[in-house]
Amino acid sequence: MPDTPEGYDVPETATSAEGLRGLRHVEHAMGTVFSFDIRDAPTRAVRHALDRAVAWLHQVDEVFSTYRPGSQISRLSRGEITLADCDRDVAEVLWLCENAERLTDGWFSRAPGGRLDPTGLVKGWAIERASVILERAGARNTCVNGGGDVQLRGECAPGVPWRVGIACPARPGQLCALVTGRDLAVATSGTAERGAHILDPHTGRPADSGLLSITLVGRHLTDIDVCATAAFAMGPRARAWVESLPGVEAFAVTSDSHTWWTRGFPGVAGSSSSSVTWPV
């Protein structure tokens, strides 16, 4: 917000209009935190949709959590129930997982440790669906951030695109890049917060990727999130792979503290070439 010159009265309509205030909400679910930032007028329909979106996240956790022995996914994994006994969402998720395995040449896996575990897809999918729930109620300018994976819709103010900071993996609290746009999905995979939790599905061991983090940008978080996980596991191969994906761009921070990004990002500040490395 720019400084207001002294003695200048901000027009009443700009501050008091309910519509400009929007609606925000923070929800703990699925072992992380979801931040909702709705820039549309908080009508009854929108408030109700936010309630449903929050309920949706908890429902997803109940069905898909591998930490809950009684969840459908845990019971399915133990062979106690069949797919036909599960919510229809389970079939959808498994189908999406299958597509994701194909798309990523197996670098994304629905059974990364040998056991059925679609967790790597479920969060992004749940966030994107939460965003759709809001949109269907008329909230067309929203940001849903689940543990650092972000689905954006519309813009943050009329004519103003959203701006998402990319956290510096080596320097907590700092940003190392900004992504600006409308209708974006932004997902980052890395070891900074949870340690080496991304497994190389080909070896079953933690991925030794040479990356501290990789951020993928595209349209739909379901896809972008799994692609980010796969790209992190791929390591050096990730760049060429992302270049081959239409509508997807990447920004990476390497273990030797350099960055690279794909060619489709226009207007990268400070450089005309994407191959210039930049210490972080």
Partner 1 sequence: MAMRRAALLATSSVTGLVLLLSLKPHHTTPSAPAGTGSGAATSSPTPGSGTGHSSGASGGAGATGTFTGAVEQTPYGPVQIAVTLSHGELTKVRALQTPSGASRSRAISGYAVPTLTREALGAQSAHIQAVSGASYTSEGYTQSLQSALDKAGA
- Shortest Cβ distance from residue 90 to partner 1 (Å)? 6
212: its two tokens: 């501290």
Hey, which residues between 107 and 126 contact partner 1 (CB under 8 A)?
Answer: 123
> Quick one: DSSP state of residue 87?
-
Please report whether residue 73 would count as binding partner 1 according to CB under 8 A: no
Residue 175 is a binding residue for partner 1 (CB under 8 A): yes
Both tokens of 164, joined, read 């998402």
Q: Are 264 and 251 in contact (CB under 8 A)?
A: no
Q: Give the residue with the Cβ less far from partner 1, 152 or 201.
A: 152
One of 41, 45, 170, 268 touching partner 1 (CB under 8 A): 268
Read off the amino acid at residue 77. S
Among 71, 209, 213, 254, binds partner 1 (CB under 8 A): 213
Nearest approach, Cβ of residue 47 and partner 1 (Å): 16
Let me know: does 229 contact 103? Beta carbons within 8 Å: no
Strand, helix or coil at 168? coil
Based on the shown chain and the rule CB under 8 A, indicate whether residue 45 belongs to the binding site for partner 1. Answer: no
- Residue at 166: amino acid letter: I
Residues 46-65 that bind partner 1 (CB under 8 A): 52, 55-56, 58-59
209 binds partner 1 (CB under 8 A): no
Which one of residues 187, 233, 234, 238 is an interface residue with partner 1 (CB under 8 A)? 187
75 binds partner 1 per the rule CB under 8 A: no
One residue of 46, 73, 122, 133 binding partner 1 per CB under 8 A: 133
Which of 74/191 has CB closer to partner 1? 191
| Separation between Cα atoms, residue 245 and residue 280, nearest integer Å | 26
Taking the complex as a whole, the smallest distance from the CB of residue 120 to partner 1 amounts, in Å, to 10
Cα 51 → chain centroid: 20
Q: Does 231 bind partner 1 (CB under 8 A)?
A: no
Query: Per the structure block, which two tokens stand in for 82?
Result: 């069949």
Residue 128 region, left (φ>0) first, then alpha (ψ -120 to 50), else beta?
A: alpha
Q: Is 71 helix (H, G, I), strand (E, B) or coil?
A: coil
Under the binding rule (CB under 8 A), the answer on residue 127 touching partner 1 is: no
Return the number of the residue (10 or 84) whose C-beta is nearest partner 1. 84
Which residues in 153-172 contact partner 1 (CB under 8 A)?
156, 161-169, 172
d(CA 262, CA 240): 9
Cα-atom radius of gyration of the chain, to the nearest Å?
Answer: 20
Asked if 86 interacts with partner 1 (CB under 8 A), we say: yes
Closer residue to partner 1 (CB): 201 or 212: 212
Which of 48, 203, 208, 271 is close enough to bind partner 1 by CB under 8 A?
271
Q: Are 248 and 218 in contact (CB under 8 A)?
A: yes
CA dist 97 and 223 (Å) reads 10
